[in-house]
Chains A and B, each alone.
Chain A
C-alpha cells in the first residue's frame, strides 16, 4: 500500500468515527427530547391537578360560611351533597373548570358509612392517570355540628 493510500484511509477512518459520534449524539438528543416532552406532559397534568384542587377548595358553591364570614379550607357537607347533583347535570359548565380530572372527597375522621364522595368525574376516554394530588380540608356538617377531617383527591387524566 502506498503512503498516499494509507493517508486517505486514515482520513476515511476519522470521517467514519466523527460520523458515528454525530449519529450517536443525535440519537441521544432525540431520546432525551422524547423523554422530556413526556415529563413536561406529566408535569402539566400535575400542575393542572393542583390548580383544580385549589379552585375546588375555594369554590363558592362549596365553601363553609357562618354569618357571611367564609372559612378557609372548609367545605359545607350540605352544599357538597347538593353540588354532586349539580355537577352531573351541568357537566359542560364544570368541564370548562375541571377538565379531564376525577375529584373526590374522603372523610377520614369521624368516619361515616358513605366515606368517599365523588364530586366530579370526567366522562370521556382516557389512557393514563397522573399521580394523585391530596389536599386536607374540613368537611363541616352543620346539622350535627361535626367537623370531619377529609382529604380532597384530584386525579388528572389524559
Chain B
C-alpha cells in the first residue's frame, strides 16, 4: 500500500470515529428522555375517573323534591326531553347541559387541557362540548362509557383529551 493510501485510510478512521461519536451522543440523548410513567398514570386516572364521577354528581334540577344526578338527568333527557325541573332551571336537557358545562369549565378548561365531550345514542347527539380538541386533531386520548337508559337504549359518552 502506498503512503498516500495509508493517509486516506487514517483520515477515514478519524471520520468514522467522529461519526460514531455523534451517533452515540444522539442515541444517548434520545434514550435518556424522561419516562413519563407518572404523568401518564396521572392523566389516565384523571380521564378514566372523570365521566363516572360526573354521572354521580347532584345537579340543581329537582324532580319530586329530590335533586337529580347527571346520570338521572341524562336518562330523563333521553326518555322525556320536554320534562321540566320543578325549580325553574329549565328542562332536563337544559339542566344536564348546564351541569356538564360548569364541571368542564371549572376543571379541564381551567387547567388548559384541550378536550371534547360527546353524549350520543347512535347518530343522535344529546350533548357536545369542545375546547380546542376537534375532529382534525390526531393525537388524543379517548375514554368511552356506555350508560344504559330506562328506555332500553345505550348512551355513549366520549371524553376526548388532546
Show the binding face of A for B, using Cβ within 8 Å: 14, 17-18, 21, 25, 28-29, 32, 35-36, 39, 42-43, 46-47, 49-50, 53-54, 73-74, 108-110, 131, 133-138, 145-149, 151
Contact = CB atoms under 8 A, between A and B. Distances in A.
B37 A110 contact: no
Contacts of A32: 28-29, 32
A49 B38 contact: yes
B53 to A, nearest CB: 4
Contacts of B154: none
B135 interface: no
Interface stretch (B102-110, B118-126, B144-152): B102-110
Interface in B44-103: 45-46, 49-50, 52-54, 56-60, 66-67, 69, 99, 102-103
Contacts of A47: 37-38, 41
Interface residues of B, number: 36
Given A32-B32, A50-B41, A146-B58, A136 B67 contact: no
Nearest to A25: B21
Interface of B: 14, 17-18, 21, 25, 28-29, 32, 34-35, 37-39, 41-42, 45-46, 49-50, 52-54, 56-60, 66-67, 69, 99, 102-103, 106-107, 111
Contacts, number: 93
Contacts of A147: 56-58, 69
A149 B105 CA distance: 13
Give the one of B21, B42, B50 with max A CB within 10 A: B42
23 contacts: A18-B17, A29-B28, A32-B29, A36-B32, A39-B34, A49-B38, A50-B42, A54-B45, A108-B102, A108-B107, A109-B102, A110-B59, A134-B111, A135-B49, A136-B46, A136-B49, A136-B50, A136-B107, A137-B53, A138-B53, A146-B67, A147-B56, A149-B57
